[in-house]
Amino acid sequence: MLSIAGSVRGQSLKSFERAGDDAFKNKDFGAAIQYYATVLEKNAADLAILWKYAESARLIYAYGEAEKSYLKIAENNKATKKYPLLKLRLAEIKQGKGAYEEAIVYFQEFLAAPHTADTSLLHLAENGIAHAQIALQLAGRLQNVEIKHLGKEINSPFSEFAPYLVGDSLFYSSYRFDQKKDRHTPKSKITKVLLSIKGARSREPGRGFPSTDTAHIAHTAFSPDGHFVFFTVCKNKNASDIRCELWLTVIDRRNRWLAPVRLPAPINLPGYTSTQPNIGYDKKAQGPVLWFVSDRPGGKGKTDLWYVPLDTVFFCPCALPVPGKPISKLTKFENPINATAINTPAQEGTPFYDAPTQTLYFASDGWAGMGGYDLFAAAKKGDSLSIPQNLGPGFNTSYNDLYLFMEPSGRKGYFSSNRPGSYYLDERNKFCCNDLYSFTLLDTTKTKVKKNLPSDTLSNRKQPPGFGVKPNPVEIPSIVPPPTLKTFVGLPLYFDNDEPDKRTNRTFTKRTYEETVLPYLDRQMEYREKFTAGISENGIEVAENLIDDFFEQEVRRGYERFLQMSEILLERLEQGSTIEVFIKGFTSPRARNDYNLNLGKRRISSVKNQFLVMQEGKLMPYLRSGKLKITETSFGETLVRSGISDNLQDERNSIYHPAAARERRVEIIEIEEKE
């Protein structure tokens, strides 16, 4: 990595700090840590910079640097008062390094501090203690697996992940490639798929395999016959976050790659990520099932595991397209199903479904484990998935362990991890990146042969695999308490200006909330442009962040929580409850009072329409019978907070400013339930 200092030599320390702050806001923590380090070289006692440095180091898993910096801050007698999260951060770092007993002590000290009032932080610390105690139990288990780092033939200082073995060819993804047309120094990196045959030095798969210089190509998943290949196309939202879509390509009868196609809805949804595909034969579905990861509405957490049965075309080489036939016409996709039994409010990902044992392997940072992402297994029987079992030491460490792939033998495979022993992008700070590892199970335990499953022509599997690591079930606490209906009191649902149904005095609409909020979300870039027009260059990034935070954390998140509320609502109604939901509408003050009053009523009407179609119409009978009642009051602009612009000529502040946009909402003000 090039030195940041070399590119900005001669600037003041304040300039370095501002550059670090900007990088941190853009989630480019690797750059931020270097900017702050330059300031600390001149002023090592600056606690404010040291804190920013430590936070950046923590977020890129440079635990050694983070721990050293936090401890240096702790030497100051006034540090705990000035930095009330200090003990919590030290606890998280100790847990990340596998020092679980020390982590428990710091968590307890944080809870004992008199200044601790934020209930979410208290709950985080309480769960931290519970997770550390479980990690101590897991760490004490016998390690029944042999782990091997795959070396420089496969790995690089950048991230390698998503291994997938086809015969003797290992496909995987690598974030090591320069974006050729990028004018920055150093150039931005992109991900491409690589291929290693019999452990030889890796190379790109060859002419015709999907490739681009403007996006990340990753996550190959082959159909059982080896001809249909799902993969992801991802683009950066900022330095750390990306948004992905699932695509499909085909190796035809002449062994040529056909032009790839983007999968349609409901697999890909506008504004949401669909990524990390995997295909396995599901006994219950009697055919191949596509597993993938998404942050779409209807999930339980930040990212969830979803699955959808595939058309049998993906299991039969006889259905391969002839030259010239569009592969997009081969199949239709059903609505994906959320794997609710294993998803948490945190993050689940990297699914691998083992057909002969009907077992789903995946990674999670929501189920208690040894730290970071841990690898888990959940057996599938019919429509049900068992409680996830932590794979234990060897597979898991206090770092991030994910992307497990099981070889046909059932005793060997691969996974990805940033554990110590991985190549570092920055040797001094020891941060980044994931490398590929192989594993061999040492336990000779065999599982029973699974009968009546189709042959796996891709892997030539002759015997079903055995899984030797069988940890005892552990009762695992969730990161946050499960939501109840009361959780959603105060939930705001936001609307675009003069929506729904512009320029009308009607008090009702035929549109649902979903039909108005999705086009609103599509205008995020337009809002950025309008809100930043005419302001100074120094303020543009701050203004853009205000818009992005509003759309992502308030508009989109509100819509997602509304869908989540509908699930709990239906569950409680099915259990016999009678429920009344009270909602009220608001507007911004751009129009006269009587118009705004009617606009508020139209917004309430759209939300009521949404209740009619939610959960595939299952709420409708309860609405008709009176078991579910929606009671509304529209206050128009009468409760608008002071300072909101009503100047029709000042669209930047009266339409596009987040403060004005927050006034255009319907709010759930109370939920009453009688059992």
Tokens 């082959």, residue located = 222
CA distance 187 to 181: 8
What's the mean pLDDT when you consider all of the chain? 83
Pairing of β 348-354 and β 337-338: unpaired
Q: Which of 2-6, 297-301, 439-443, 562-566 has the lowest mean pLDDT?
A: 2-6
In whole angstroms, what is the distance from residue 585 CA to residue 588 CA? Answer: 11
Structure confidence at residue 590 (pLDDT): 61
Prediction pTM value: 0.63
Q: How far apart are CA 33 and CA 437, in angstroms?
A: 28
Q: Kindly tell me if the per-residue pLDDT of 218 is higher than 70.
A: yes
State whether the Cα torsion 193-197-201-205 is positive or negative. negative
CA pair distance 53, 228, nearest whole angstrom: 46
415, pLDDT greater than 90: yes
**Which pLDDT does position 116 carry in this prediction?**
57
- Write down the pLDDT at residue 644: 56
The pLDDT, as a whole number, for residue 127 is 85
Res 292 pLDDT > 60: yes
CA 545 – CA 25 distance, rounded (Å): 8
What domains appear along the chain, each with residue ranges and CATH number? 145-441 (2.115.10.20), 485-674 (no CATH)
More confident residue, 10 or 339: 339
**What is the rounded radius of gyration, in angstroms, for the C-alpha atoms of the chain?**
27
The overall longest dimension of the chain from CA atoms, in Å, is: 78
Mean pLDDT to the nearest integer, 400-406: 96
Alpha carbons 603 and 511: distance in angstroms, whole number:
9
Residue 350: its pLDDT value, please?
98
Hey, what's the torsion of the CAs at 652, 654, 659, 661, to 10 degrees? -100
Going by pLDDT thresholds of 50, 70 and 90, the confidence category of residue 620 is: very high
Q: Which amino acid is at 522?
A: D
Q: Please give the residue that has the higher pLDDT: either 575 or 445.
A: 575
Task: Look up residue 68 and give its two tokens.
Answer: 């050293």
pLDDT in tens, 578-591: 999 999 888 766 65
Average pLDDT over residues 350-365: 94
pLDDT digit string (tens) for 88-106?
999 999 999 999 999 999 9
- For the chain, helix (H) and strand (E) counts, in that order, are 17, 24
Contact 298, 305 (CB under 8 A): no
Alpha carbons 260 and 270: distance in angstroms, whole number: 19
Q: Where are the alpha helices (DSSP H) in 26-76?
A: 29-42, 47-59, 63-74
Which of 251, 238, 332 shows the shortest CA–CA distance to 541? 238
Neighbours of 609 (CB within 10 A): 20
The residue with greater pLDDT, 244 or 330, is 244
Q: What one-character DSSP code corresponds to residue 551?
A: I
pLDDT category at 214 given cuts 50, 70, 90 is confident
Report the SS3 class of residue 50: helix
Band the pLDDT of 654: cuts 50, 70, 90: confident
